[in-house]
Every structure is written in C-alpha cells, then in structure tokens.
Copies of this chain bind each other. A is one copy, B any other.
C-alpha cells in the first residue's frame, strides 16, 4: 500500500491523492467524470493531478458533508479560474458564496428546532396553519426528479 512519490513533485497520482484526501479512488474518478476535478494524462494514460486538486477535493467533501449536491458544488467551483492555479482571493470569493448558503441553512435548522418545541411541544400541530408544516421556503427548486430532498 506504499505509494511511490511521483517524480514531478507538483503532480500526484490518483493513489496519492486518494491517500492524502481520504477519498476513495473510485470517487475521485467519479468526480472527474462529473467535471468537478480534472487531470493531465501521462503517455501511458494515467492520471496526474496538479497540487491544487487536493484543495478542490477538500472543498468538495466539506461541502458534501453539509448536504450540498455535487451539481451545486460543480457550479460553485466553476467560478475558479480556468488556466491558472486559483489563489487566495479566488478561494475567498468562493467561500463567501458558501457562507451565505450556510447561514441560510443554519437559520432553517434553528427555525425548525424552535418550531418543533413550540409547536409540537404545545400540541398545536394542526398542519394547515402550523409554522412547522409551512416552512416551505423553497430555496433551490432544481427541476423535476428527486426534488425536496432535504437540500
């Protein structure tokens, strides 16, 4: 299971990237197919990932952990520059968007928590007029298919 260091210090094999990020190789290949990360290929068709891919992967997993779907993460990552390596300001811009999203999610959870205790707790849960049932502020109604999944 020991991974040889790739000759060019700036590039990682999929095994190295997997070890460092903790993300299975199968998932990394999947992310590449989905356009979330990309790689150069060696003459022998093997993937080589540039250094900043590690950051992207960390960002992807961190975002996923809070329930953001890959499609949304892909869109967010699209704001990173194409040609050059993303710098501090690029990532800061990205995280700024996420901050707003996270704040919204936090507010939703707090509201649900409070409604639960006030509303179920007091026995008023009458669905038609109850705040609990009507917390349907649909923020990201992305098309047909499995919509309304706690995202």
Contacts and interface: CB of A to CB of B under 8 A. Distances in A.
Interface stretch (A28-36, A37-45, A107-115): A107-115
A interface majority secondary structure: helix
A57 to B, nearest CB: 8
Interface core residue of A54, A66, A116, A128 (most chain B CB under 10 Å): A116
A55 B125 contact: yes
Interface in A93-129: 94-96, 98-99, 102-103, 105-106, 108-110, 112-113, 115-117, 120-123, 125, 127-128
User: How big is the A interface, by class?
Assistant: 35 or more
A71 interface: no
B135 A65 contact: yes
Interface core residue of A61, A62, A92, A96 (most chain B CB under 10 Å): A62
A62 B133 contact: yes
A61 B130 CA distance: 13
B67 A127 contact: no
B109 A58 contact: no
A85 to B, nearest CB: 12
Interface of A: 20-21, 54-55, 58-59, 61-62, 64-68, 87-88, 91-92, 94-96, 98-99, 102-103, 105-106, 108-110, 112-113, 115-117, 120-123, 125, 127-128, 130, 132-133, 135, 148-151
